[in-house]
Amino acid sequence: MQQNQTSALAGIKVLDLSRVLAGPWATQMLADFGAEVIKIEPPGKGDDTRGWGPPFIQGQQGCDAAYFHTANRNKHSVAIDFSKPEGQALIHRLAAQSDVVVENFKVGGLAKYGLDYNSLKISNPGLIYCSITGFGQQGPMASQPGYDFMIQAMGGLMSVTGEPDGSPMKVGVALADILTGLYACNAIQAALLYRHSTGLGQYIDLALLDVQIACLANQAMNYLTTGQSPNRFGNAHPNIVPYQSFATADGHIILAVGNDQQFARFCSLPGCEALLGQPQYLTNAQRVQHRETLVPLVADILRQQSSQWWLTNLEALSIPCSPINNVGEAFANPQVQHRQMQRQFSDKDGHTQPFVGNPIQFSQSPVQYHSPPPALGQHSEQILRQRLGLTGEELTHLVHLGVINAPVSD
């Protein structure tokens, strides 16, 4: 279990009690940075996302949904039923040796098992304990369950996503979960730095709804500045024009004019004569004000040439633009391939498992990809023997009690 010492978080031990996406996304990031992550799962079914398919990935150790593979590489799986006293005792002992605990049970859900922060910090005062819930530990909605779809709706994101005359739309990935995972990873690393300088552990209370509100970004500030809730603009931008998708002679492209100099260069292209010298379009503020007249003019111009013609000529003038790729086309992009965002694990028998690379590239402490997502309970015996010193007889007894799921060697 020894990690590469060039890893940024080498030597940090994380006990992962989280499931589904937000928590596992955070702990996978910590594992990528070199932390040792022990994922605790209930015997029998494990993390719910193991069954969230098809599609499924057949690995050397078993078959789990591609969804599970999204957020669980570089981890060890230990299957423990902590509804039983013997399982709770095992978690206590593992937590006493850990730097970080991450969990996403409902408020108070782990207290009845004695696995809450106040219980675990008694034997480990330096523990950093991160709780992820839908609505946080206090407030009128604290006891309610929170799911990504709900949070996108409740947190305002759906109100600004979709066509102006269409229905509110959620984002095509569980963005509230993913962003919460990223915030959790940042918070945990900040807490580790704080502990390094003070010796003090701490509790982190992170709510999906809080994160969604924070990530409304400019839309939130537009509201706070004006008192008016932003409208849906489809693929357009509320503060920049022209900045949206446009039809061409044979498809669609994105045109993202980010400043006045780029717009002037756009006006110099063949076919853009109608825009030259128009004073109402000289600055972005004017273009936003006159969106209703400018956008149709630009749309008429772009329909005169093919997508490739526009992409070639816009790129030649350093005017931001893009094709609208499907996921397969995105992975086929030469830049994406050069950056090695599509990777694979290979085992000694020649089996491969694809995965998406971590986008962070360190110069001194590179991201580690040492193991694919584990089978349920794959490391139970190894961890409990090495970390807790359990004997084969003790492990066998726990298996018979249904506390752990592990094949026990002699």
Q: How far apart are CA 170 and CA 159, in angstroms?
A: 9
Helix, strand, coil in percent for the chain, rounding step 5: 40, 15, 45
Whether 35 and 369 have beta carbons less than 8 Å apart is answered as no
Residues 6+ apart with CB under 8 A from 140: none
Mapping DSSP to helix (H, G, I), strand (E, B) and coil, where does residue 243 land?
strand
Whether 396 and 409 have beta carbons less than 8 Å apart is answered as no
Whether 405 and 380 have beta carbons less than 8 Å apart is answered as yes
Q: Please give the radius of gyration of the chain, using alpha carbons only, rounded to the nearest integer.
A: 26
Marked catalytic residue, from 47, 64, 177, 210: 177
DSSP assignment of 151-162: HHHHTTTGGGSS
Mapping DSSP to helix (H, G, I), strand (E, B) and coil, where does residue 392 land?
helix
Q: How far apart are CA 269 and CA 379, in angstroms?
A: 62
Whether 399 and 80 have beta carbons less than 8 Å apart is answered as no
Q: How far apart are CA 49 and CA 71, in angstroms?
A: 10
Residues 6+ apart with CB under 8 A from 273: none
**In 10 A of CB 71, how many CB atoms?**
24
The upper half-sphere exposure of residue 307, i.e. CA atoms within 13 Å in the direction of its Cβ, equals 13
Whether 171 and 232 have beta carbons less than 8 Å apart is answered as no
Establish whether 210 is a catalytic residue: no
The alpha helices in 227-373, defined as continuous H runs, are: 260-267, 284-289, 291-302, 307-316, 327-332, 334-338
Element (H, E) at 95: helix 85-96
**In 10 A of CB 39, how many CB atoms?**
29
Catalytic residues: 177
